[in-house]
Amino acid sequence: MAQDFPPECPKQAIEGVIEDPGSWADRCFMAVNGRLPNAEQIGESDSDYRDLDLDGDEELLEIRGVGNARKQIYVFRPTESGFEYLGE
């Protein structure tokens, strides 16, 4: 019996609020890799804030995967009601 995985996350921005970007990124990782990120694996799951667009406000980066070729980086903008997904 095949296991149901969530669909791969969009590479482009989507409308709506993401309340928990970390869990959202974990589900995206699962869709691509067939499993959740391993907390024991250094660098497989990380979060960081950086001002990517140099507007003075930091964006949240949810980083999943290992190595540069397979790394997924999902970018979010904090809002009053949660986070807005800006893309991969």
Residue-wise pLDDT for 35-60, tens only, equals 999 888 888 899 999 999 999 999 99
Domain assignment of residue 44, yes or no? yes
Q: How many CA atoms lie within 13 A of 62 on its CB side?
A: 24
Domain assignment of residue 77, yes or no? yes
Mean pLDDT throughout 18-24? 94
67 or 15: which leads in pLDDT: 15
Query: What is the Rg, in whole angstroms, of the alpha carbon atoms belonging to the chain?
Result: 13
Q: Please state the domain count of the chain.
A: 1
Domain assignment of residue 7, yes or no? no
Domain assignment of residue 3, yes or no? no
Q: What is the pTM of this model?
A: 0.84
pLDDT for residue 65:
86
Selection from 77, 62, 69 nearest residue 23 by Cα:
62
State CA 24 to chain mean position distance: 6
Domain assignment of residue 71, yes or no? yes
CA distance 52 to 65: 20
Domain assignment of residue 8, yes or no? no
Residue 66 — very low, low, confident or very high, per pLDDT cuts 50/70/90? confident
Selection from 16, 9, 24 nearest residue 60 by Cα:
24
Domain assignment of residue 27, yes or no? yes
Domain assignment of residue 14, yes or no? no
Domain ranges, residue 75: 21-87
